[in-house]
Structure formats: structure tokens, C-alpha cells
Amino acid sequence: MMVKSAMVMAAGLGARLLPLTKDKPKPMVDFKGKKLIDHALECLVQMPFEVIVVNTHYQRPSIQEHLQRYYPTVIESFEQERLETGGGVKNAMHYFSGDTILVVNPDIVWLKGIKSAINTVLTAWNPDQMDCLLGLIPQDHFHINTSKGDYDFSKPPYISWIASRQSAAFMQAGVYIIKLDQYNQIDQRYFSNKLLWDRIEQNNRLAGVTIDDHIFDIACPESLEFACEHFEEYCHKPS
């Protein structure tokens, strides 16, 4: 496996999920008998990654204690101030092995489990042709999202951001691979990964791969309730 490092993004405030996140970060919210973050970590620790990093900030003690069950396989990268998604990865650069990283958003619940999505992205990754590869889900497979689409294929495997969003066919699905040298090109300490994706797209090196699955975005109490009520129902629907 060419990608030696993985990172789970867990430093956000989870403000939209209040009051469930009043005393814990969003990845520590329960879903189907386990914490959201465990759906990702239990998969990642069984894969041949040399390094797995979890960034923390909001309500750190809650998640810090929980991560001890994965010690020493999982490393914590603490952020004293919120650095956003791109800044969070850049802050953890000294932990990573290799020149590429797989990034996972633990707020996404996958019907087939996240392992299938990770394997799809790893299989499609081609560093000679890409600087970043985003896992994509068709809009009608992305449940309880408040926004529209994100991307569409321009010249496959390459993708383009659709500014209007209403006409975009795919949502970015929270699983992607990116070359670490891209972060060295950003001087800011606080920035979003979207800034990098835009730069990579301008260089015609932003690729996408469609993941055959359905996902639920655990963004607010209502979306969590919907996922809890309908997860099994979607599991038994034909693809």
C-alpha cells in the first residue's frame, strides 16, 4: 500500500450538533452502539498504515481518554487553537510517514462500513496522475445534507468544483488522499483543505472516484435521529 499514513479529523466544535456536543466533541457522539470515531478507527487500525493520527481541540479530555484504547497505534495531535481542516493536517506533519496521507471525516456514517470506501479510494489512487483524490457520492446517495452538490467529472478521473452547486452531481464524501507537499505551499496556519483542492484543481491534478455506497451526514440532532431511524431501512434497499 503506497499510502502509509492516515488521519481522522476530530478537532471541530460540533456546534450544529448541540446540545449533544456540550461536553464532548462530535466524534464522541454515539451511533449504533459505538462512538462515531470508532467506526473509523476500528477499521483503520486493522489496515497496514504505519501512522494513524487523530487531531483534537474541543473537549479534548473526553476524546483523549477514549483514544488510550488504541495506544500506541493511534497518535493524538492536539491543537491549542482551532486550525481548520488544512491547518490541522499541516500541524501534524511531523507525525506522518511517507509523502501521502489518507484523511477521514468521522462524522460520516457508511451503510457498507467505511472500509469499503477507504479501499475504493486506495485502489484508485495514482500519484503519477493526481495530487489529490476525493471519494465522491452521488447526491441521491447522500442523506440529510443541507447543501447541494460539490463536484462533477470534467475529464475523468479529474473533477471540477461546481459553483452553482444545484447542478453538481456528486458530494465530497469525507474520505480522500492528498500529497503532503501540498501543505508546504500554504503559508497560513489556519486554512481549509478546500483551499488546497482549489489550487490542485487549477493545476488539473484534482481527481475523484465514485464510491458505491450510501452515507448519512451526522451534522445536527435531526440528521442523527434520521440516521438512527432509517439506517437499517437503507441497508436493505437495492442499490
Q: What percent of the chain has pLDDT over 70?
A: 95
Amino acid at 109: V
Which pLDDT belongs to residue 218?
87
CATH number of domain containing 165: 3.90.550.10
**Calpha distance 71→86 (Å, rounded):** 25
Q: What is the mean pLDDT of residues 107-123?
A: 94
Q: Which domain holds residue 55?
A: 5-235
User: Which tens digit of pLDDT belongs to each residue from 180-226?
Assistant: 999 999 999 999 999 999 999 999 999 999 999 988 888 888 888 88
> What contacts 101, CB < 8 A, 6 or more positions away?
3, 5, 6, 7, 89, 177, 178, 180
Number of domains in the chain: 1
189 C-beta neighbours (distance < 10 Å), count: 12
- The three grid cell numbers given for residue 74, joined into one nine-digit string: 493511534
Q: What percent of the chain has pLDDT over 90?
A: 67
Which pLDDT belongs to residue 5?
97
DSSP 3-state assignment of 1?
Answer: coil
- The three grid cell numbers given for residue 187, joined into one nine-digit string: 503559508
**Calpha distance 23→234 (Å, rounded):** 31
Strands of 108-110's sheet in order across: 108-110, 215-217, 142-143
Q: How confident is the model at residue 137 (pLDDT cuts 50, 70, 90)?
A: very high
Q: What is the mean pLDDT of residues 103-110?
A: 93
Q: What is the mean pLDDT of residues 132-159?
A: 87
Which pLDDT belongs to residue 237?
61
Whole-prediction pTM: 0.93
Which pLDDT belongs to residue 154?
93
Peptide bond into 157 cis (omega under 30): yes
